[in-house]
Amino acid sequence: MSRVRRICYVTGTRADFGLMVSTLHAIAADARLDLGLAVTGMHLAQRHGMTVREVEAEGLRIDATIPVELEPPGGATMARNIGHMTVGLVDAFERIEPDLVLLLGDRGEMLAGALAAAHLGIGIAHLHGGERSGTIDESVRHAISKLAHHHLVATQASRDRLIRMGEDPQHIVVVGAPGLDGLTALERADRSELCASVGFDPGRPMALMLFHPVLQERASAAAQTAAILDSLTALRWQTLALMPNADAGSERVREQLLHRRDEAGLVVRTHLTRSEFVSWMAACDVMVGNSSSGIIEAASFGTPVVNVGSRQQLRERNANVNDTDADAASITAALRCAAARGRLPVSNVYGDGHAGARIVELLASADLTLAQRAKCNAY
């Protein structure tokens, strides 16, 4: 009988952990695999909700914590943190000795995990590779892909792109987006309950806002946030807004939300649990901002999405997404259009909600010798 494979998942934010929690439980439950987590980034910051508590509440084993300084938010802080996290993850991986490091997406902590694992000769399995966004996220995502040995992608288009980037086709498998697994089952509160919890009128239009800064556009982050809020106010919509991530420009977004949080019809929250967030996504009339959850997950509820600005500009779209420039007139027009269309039939290009089972099988059967071989472009 083959020995149990040790898997280490690196997590840095509420977002990546929420997307992966169903799959992580599936990995932990499989007798062929032993799962541990390396927790870092925003999870360990009080200002961002200290979401490591939610990781702990899931009962998954935490093998390492790597705290970093998130202040002041900016490109320099982001770059330094990649270095700090790389050092911390090298130490953690040397102690844990994982067979595979599992990474999702395009954030700096994932790049740090890839750099550390690659130099230690540890296999890297990367989820959501091959996708485009047109911002610094895309560059980081592709950098992780070039370091990874196993590519577990969400769509066929992503697989095709990785092949064009020189990755070996036999190590690229379409599994779907793990964030869709068990998604509809998480919708635990209906519209009336949610509205009652924040003092909204369920009979009036309601928006869920989640807007993150773009590194290259951090100087205009405040103006873009104000434009969204101005549009929602002009339409007299009720809005639940979430605080942004810790990237460069986030302070400007936070300042706008805090400055206006006492306005009628606007409620600002630092964090929602995964089930709360999904319930709001399912119940709102429109989701507005630039979160990947609007691009990937919202379609599973048919929720109209107004995607603002450049952050997700080159991602594959579902039919529920309405793209708009980041000025108030364009956003207002897009919100009106999305509201007029209403909910769409449920259809999602990012998968069927069964990614977790595929991921487990691939982790259990992956060729572990790839990490010891020289990796070359396949073309």
Per-residue pLDDT tens over the stretch 234-256? 999 999 999 999 898 999 999 99
Specify if 377 maps to a domain. Answer: no
**Same domain, yes or no: 190 and 175:** no
Specify if 379 maps to a domain. Answer: no
Specify if 44 maps to a domain. Answer: yes
**Same domain, yes or no: 206 and 166:** no
Q: Element (H or E) spanning 241, and its range?
A: strand 238-242
Residue 139 belongs to domain spanning = 5-182+353-372
**Same domain, yes or no: 333 and 363:** no
The C-alpha atoms of residue 159 and residue 74 are separated, in whole angstroms, by 32
Closest CA to 283 of 183, 195, 182: 195
Specify if 121 maps to a domain. Answer: yes
**Same domain, yes or no: 305 and 359:** no
Tokens of 167: 């990755």
CATH number at 304 reads 3.40.50.2000
Task: Give the residue, 210 or 3, on which the prediction is more confident.
Answer: 210
Write out pLDDT tens, residues 300-339.
Answer: 999 999 999 999 989 999 999 999 999 999 999 999 999 9
**Same domain, yes or no: 139 and 272:** no
Q: How confident is the model at residue 144 (pLDDT cuts 50, 70, 90)?
A: very high
**Same domain, yes or no: 318 and 334:** yes
Tokens of 331: 């956003």
**Same domain, yes or no: 84 and 147:** yes
**Same domain, yes or no: 219 and 279:** yes
Tokens of 328: 């108030």
Write out pLDDT tens, residues 97-129.
Answer: 999 999 999 999 999 999 999 999 999 999 999
Contacts of 15 (CB under 8 A, 6+ apart): 245, 291, 292, 293
Highest mean pLDDT among 130-139, 244-253, 279-288: 279-288
pTM equals: 0.93
285 contacts 206 by C-beta, under 8 angstroms: yes
Write out pLDDT tens, residues 54-77.
Answer: 999 999 999 999 999 999 989 999
**Same domain, yes or no: 127 and 209:** no
Specify if 378 maps to a domain. Answer: no
Contacts of 309 (CB under 8 A, 6+ apart): 214, 217, 224, 290, 325, 326
**Same domain, yes or no: 256 and 334:** yes
pLDDT value for 363: 98
Mean confidence (pLDDT) of the chain = 96
pLDDT value for 108: 97
Specify if 347 maps to a domain. Answer: no
Specify if 55 maps to a domain. Answer: yes
**Same domain, yes or no: 163 and 206:** no
**Same domain, yes or no: 173 and 217:** no
pLDDT value for 1: 52
- The number of domains in the chain is 2
Specify if 331 maps to a domain. Answer: yes
- The pLDDT > 90 percentage for the chain reads 92
